[in-house]
Chains A and B, each alone.
Chain A
Amino acid sequence: MINYTPKQYAQALHLAISESNPKDQERILDNFVQVLKSNGHLGLLDEIEKEFLRHDREQRGVKQAEITTAKPLSRDEEAKLIHNLNEYVGGKVELKKKVDEGLIGGIMVKIGDELIDGSVKKSLQELKNKLKE
């Protein structure tokens, strides 16, 4: 038996749903779960969900940006940030917000496997390394 990866499952599911009638979606999902069950891959559900969402975003041309800040962003700041990030990726960006006081200040943005670290914590670390030299 071929061992399918979560990514392949997610792509297949996405294709099946997007090609079919919105009415049939329930049925397709049921069938999908049946397929998983018969392949013994029910354990992969979490990962398939993650892959599915990612694939969906990809299809819509939207990218997810994980932003971490020390304090919650104000509405103004957020709007500005989204505007800038949209420009950076050349498309639309969906924000996933996280708050981590350990950053002290500044912001850390993660898009795909790219990391833009502009936090105070990082600067302090760099300063520490520099002084050590």
Chain B
Amino acid sequence: MKTDKIVEQLKNRIAAFQSQVKIERIGEVMQVGDGVARISGLSDAAASEILEFQTASGTVAGVALNLEESEVGAVVLGQQQKIKEGDTVKTTGRILSVPVSEKLVGRVVNALGEPVDGKGQIKSDKYYPVEKIAPGVITRESVKQPLQTGIKAIDGMIPIGRGQRELIIGDRQTGKTAIAIDTILNQKGQDVICIYVAIGQKESKIAKIVKTLSDGGAMEYTIVVLAGASEPAALSYIAPYAGCAMGEFFMDQGRDVLVVYDDLSKHAVAYREISLLLKRPPGREAYPGDVFYLHSRLLERAAKLNKDFGGGSLTALPIIETQAGDISAYIPTNVISITDGQIFLESDLFYQGIRPALNVGISVSRVGSAAQIKAMKKVAGKLRLDLAQFREMAAFAQFASDLDEGTRKQIERGRRTTEILKQPQYEPMPVEHQVAIIYAATNGYLDDVPLEKVKEFETRFHKYLTVNAKDLLNTIRVKKELDGEVEEKLKRLIEEFKRMSQ
């Protein structure tokens, strides 16, 4: 009975089927290897159009990159081993695009938007082109809303605003990824969609990151875009643009998005590989001439849209890995000049136990205090000054045996402040707690605490605050201000806490 019906249905569908003979433009593979193919013919291919290689064992996707008089240079996005010389290539009429939808959130996808986490297909009827021109001037407004990273040193001194592009730069093993992951963890309940784009990373590292994120409950608002180290360079090249396109979908709905590109040095290397294979002339460090544009067009897509255009934002946190602290290499200087500031991590500081290993001297945020809440602005101004003076004095005091009272005090204060800014990984701190502890440090309440006890003092202080000062914390969080009354309360609280702990 049931099979009859199915057969009947099939019969009808087959009867209704009509094959249409169309004229198609085709090309022929002349050469294939190293992930790129040269194709003759294909005269109607568009730049960055998806091509279909018709091989003996199914079709393989590719992207047209070089359009020349009699041939097309394309990168292969799938298994190039299947492609043979003489295979037919067809155009698809689709510009390289990725599916975008709410359903992507919580998933791990590859650079083409296909799921790789084994949790089933992602259905989406909307596609965004991977390469998109950045929002224009009239659609933007200045960055003014903070994106809290939950890291005291960053939120205090190098604030990041929604719509900003802040570079995280440093040698290997200095905690670059950790800062990005902490920032994602800290977006819980902030209504920010996070996209972590892994470019040329070890799959084991990605697995660890995904686990950390899901353990911290952060996968509920996060998309991981993965182009692993073993995948073709073409996918690494596309991945950041794909991640950005997914972010733009949410930005266009007026939401806030954070995109982490980890890391753009590997992206530049992947692009260099493709360019050299396509025989584009090499320039400095063998990178092609348009490697600056490669990153500028990507990072320019970070934006804060104004009310008329939905008011969404896309914050970009690109990561660059330097070799032996050399920030004057080609790619680092390029990206530094594109972004709105950089967070510079140093391995020396890292091994001294200052973690995050932030070099406060050369880390900057060009957006500045516009991206801080008023309370933080008030306490952090002093913090910067304290630390700057401390650095100067400390260098000077190395050679002096006895110091005058004022200098000694400043150095002691600086040491305690540095201690306060240390923070373990995966423990982002709410902004109201940050304000409270920085207030205590900059106003001298820690001066009489022994240096080795500062860490302990801080832990107990935060516990005390959560138990005894819920109201005060709430006020700071909601009002975002530290006016006379609140400041007075905070002052009394700190004094009380100190009395108790003696």
In the complex, how many angstroms separate the beta carbon of B282 from the nearest chain A beta carbon?
18
Residues of A within 8 A of B25 (CB): 113-115
- With beta carbons under 8 angstroms apart, the residue of B10, B14, B26 that contacts A113 is B26
Q: Let me know if A122 and B19 touch, CB within 8 A.
A: yes
- With beta carbons under 8 angstroms apart, the residue of A7, A116, A127 that contacts B21 is A116
Is residue A123 contacting chain B, with contact meaning CB distance below 8 A? yes
- Complex alpha-carbon distance, A130 and B15, angstroms: 12
**1/0 contact trace for B12-25 toward A, CB 8 Å?**
01100101011111
- Complex alpha-carbon distance, A127 and B41, angstroms: 28
Residues of B85-138 at the interface with A, using a CB-CB cut-off of 8 Å, are 88
Residues of B61-92 at the interface with A, using a CB-CB cut-off of 8 Å, are 70, 88
Residues of A within 8 A of B312 (CB): none
In the complex, how many angstroms separate the beta carbon of A12 from the nearest chain B beta carbon?
17
Is residue A112 contacting chain B, with contact meaning CB distance below 8 A? yes
- With beta carbons under 8 angstroms apart, the residue of B10, B19, B23, B70 that contacts A115 is B23
Q: Let me know if A130 and B41 touch, CB within 8 A.
A: no
Is residue A41 contacting chain B, with contact meaning CB distance below 8 A? no
Q: Let me know if A127 and B14 touch, CB within 8 A.
A: yes
Q: Let me know if A130 and B42 touch, CB within 8 A.
A: no
Residues of A within 8 A of B27 (CB): 113
Q: Let me know if A7 and B19 touch, CB within 8 A.
A: no
Residues of A113-127 at the interface with B, using a CB-CB cut-off of 8 Å, are 113-118, 122-123, 126-127
Residues of B17-57 at the interface with A, using a CB-CB cut-off of 8 Å, are 17, 19, 21-27, 40-43
**Chain A residue, CB-CB nearest to B25:** A113
Q: Let me know if B23 and A130 touch, CB within 8 A.
A: no
- With beta carbons under 8 angstroms apart, the residue of B17, B21, B24 that contacts A114 is B24
- With beta carbons under 8 angstroms apart, the residue of A113, A116, A127, A131 that contacts B19 is A127
Q: Let me know if A130 and B17 touch, CB within 8 A.
A: yes
- With beta carbons under 8 angstroms apart, the residue of A110, A127, A131 that contacts B26 is A110
Residues of B within 8 A of A123 (CB): 19
In the complex, how many angstroms separate the beta carbon of B413 from the nearest chain A beta carbon?
70
Q: Let me know if B17 and A113 touch, CB within 8 A.
A: no
Q: Let me know if B70 and A113 touch, CB within 8 A.
A: no
Q: Let me know if A7 and B70 touch, CB within 8 A.
A: yes
Residues of B within 8 A of A118 (CB): 21
Q: Let me know if A115 and B24 touch, CB within 8 A.
A: yes
In the complex, how many angstroms separate the beta carbon of A103 from the nearest chain B beta carbon?
13
Residues of A90-120 at the interface with B, using a CB-CB cut-off of 8 Å, are 110, 112-118
Q: Let me know if B13 and A130 touch, CB within 8 A.
A: yes
Q: Let me know if B19 and A126 touch, CB within 8 A.
A: yes
Q: Let me know if B41 and A113 touch, CB within 8 A.
A: yes
- Complex alpha-carbon distance, A7 and B70, angstroms: 10
Q: Let me know if B10 and A117 touch, CB within 8 A.
A: no
**Chain A residue, CB-CB nearest to B10:** A131
**Chain B residue, CB-CB nearest to A106:** B21
- Complex alpha-carbon distance, A112 and B41, angstroms: 8
Residues of B within 8 A of A110 (CB): 26
In the complex, how many angstroms separate the beta carbon of A83 from the nearest chain B beta carbon?
18
Residues of B within 8 A of A115 (CB): 23-26, 88
Q: Let me know if A113 and B43 touch, CB within 8 A.
A: yes
Residues of A within 8 A of B24 (CB): 114-117
- Complex alpha-carbon distance, A113 and B42, angstroms: 6
- Complex alpha-carbon distance, A127 and B15, angstroms: 10
Residues of B within 8 A of A126 (CB): 17, 19
- Complex alpha-carbon distance, A113 and B41, angstroms: 5
In the complex, how many angstroms separate the beta carbon of B12 from the nearest chain A beta carbon?
12
Residues of A within 8 A of B14 (CB): 127, 131
**Chain A residue, CB-CB nearest to B89:** A113
Residues of A1-58 at the interface with B, using a CB-CB cut-off of 8 Å, are 7
**Chain A residue, CB-CB nearest to B40:** A113
Residues of B320-378 at the interface with A, using a CB-CB cut-off of 8 Å, are none
Residues of A within 8 A of B70 (CB): 7
Residues of A within 8 A of B10 (CB): 131
**Chain B residue, CB-CB nearest to A51:** B70
**Chain B residue, CB-CB nearest to A118:** B21
- Complex alpha-carbon distance, A115 and B90, angstroms: 10
Most chain A beta-carbon contacts within 10 A, residue among B14, B24, B27, B70:
B24
In the complex, how many angstroms separate the beta carbon of A120 from the nearest chain B beta carbon?
9
**Chain B residue, CB-CB nearest to A133:** B13
Residues of B within 8 A of A112 (CB): 41
Residues of A within 8 A of B23 (CB): 114-116
**Chain A residue, CB-CB nearest to B24:** A115
Chain B residues close to A by CB (< 8 Å): 10, 13-14, 17, 19, 21-27, 40-43, 70, 88
A-B contact pairs, 11 of them (CB 8 A): A113-B26, A113-B41, A114-B25, A114-B26, A115-B26, A116-B21, A116-B23, A117-B21, A118-B21, A127-B14, A127-B17
Taking A113-B43, A131-B13, A131-B14 as known contacts, 13 extra A-B pairs with beta carbons closer than 8 A to each other, sorted by chain A number, are: A7-B70, A110-B26, A113-B25, A113-B27, A113-B40, A113-B41, A114-B24, A115-B23, A115-B25, A126-B17, A127-B14, A127-B19, A130-B13
Which 4 pairs between the two chains have the least Cβ-Cβ distance? A113-B41, A123-B19, A118-B21, A115-B26
